[in-house]
Amino acid sequence: MSVAELLAACSVVLAPMEDVSDAPFRAACRSVGAELCVTEFVAAEQLVVRAARARAKASVAGEGGRTAIQIYGPDPGLLLAAARIAAEARPPFVDLNCGCWVPRVIARGAGAAWLREPAAMVEMARAIVAAVDVPVTVKTRIGWGPESHMPIVDLARRLEDAGVAALAIHCRTALAGHAGAADWSWAARARAAVAIPVVVNGDVRSAADAARALAETGCAGVMIGRAAIDHPWIFREARAAITGEPAPPPPSARERIAMYRALVTGNAAARGELAGVAMTRRHLGVLGPSLGAALRPTLFRAPRLADTLAILDTAL
């Protein structure tokens, strides 16, 4: 299935988020409507040396061919080698991270740092497209800094010419980080300039936002990141809003507790009990305001999986 066909069937996409979009979280989101997901970003140099953590991040076995692998790094040769390794897992596509704005990533010349040298980004993508036998996509931002004219429209054309199968565009500059409002009009302009699918990203905080982003831009898909951390049900809500179906009911307390249980169980299995229980607390928001406030103190005092599950059972 081509990326265009995949997006036609799965237009609401879980964004790649470091230490968030791991296998347990993807499974949780998939259970409530996230049909297409992207892994956490995987460091190219770590994947090339087959580091255990990188291998775990890039593992998409059993996910039905609906999870893409995202890689990042500053070195074109290592990115090419990592793309070949990622392609061995037969993901629907390999995504190149050219949009992460985090200073430690940019300082290495990776992520959005590629936007400082668009020609180098295009040639890197061209080489990777030629080297692998799965589609290659790029996730990027609209530009590097405060330029009055963002390069994304011309860059989209050049990436299409390089053979890139689709683009995901976070509609802020690299230097903006998450500050200010995302300007979806840039995704619309890029979409109008190319024949390949464009996915709009940035400030999609609700189902209504998702439907509006698609309507305003004409993009093939919408990518949701931070809003899903506390409310993964946004995927089923967004799908209903986009298709004009009745809005699903909000998650019940029982659903919220089941979601947290699934996350903590999956994380404990994937990361070890203590680390898995601890890192799941970042998802306390899935319990909702009242239930989360009531359970937060006891959950933070429960280092073991059995204790955590007992607290959840008592809440039921």
Asked if residue 184 lies in contact with residue 178, where contact means CB atoms within 8 angstroms, the answer is no
Asked if residue 112 lies in contact with residue 141, where contact means CB atoms within 8 angstroms, the answer is yes
H or E element in which residue 243 lies: helix 234-243
The Cα-based distances of 107 to 17, 41, 72, 112, 247 in angstroms read: 19, 16, 13, 10, 44
> Is 37 known to be catalytic?
no
Please give the Cα distance from 269 to 262 (Å, whole number). 11
The catalytic residue among 29, 98, 100, 171 is 100
Please give the Cα distance from 92 to 135 (Å, whole number). 7
Q: Which amino acid is at 107?
A: A
Q: Which amino acid is at 56?
A: A
Catalytic residues: 100
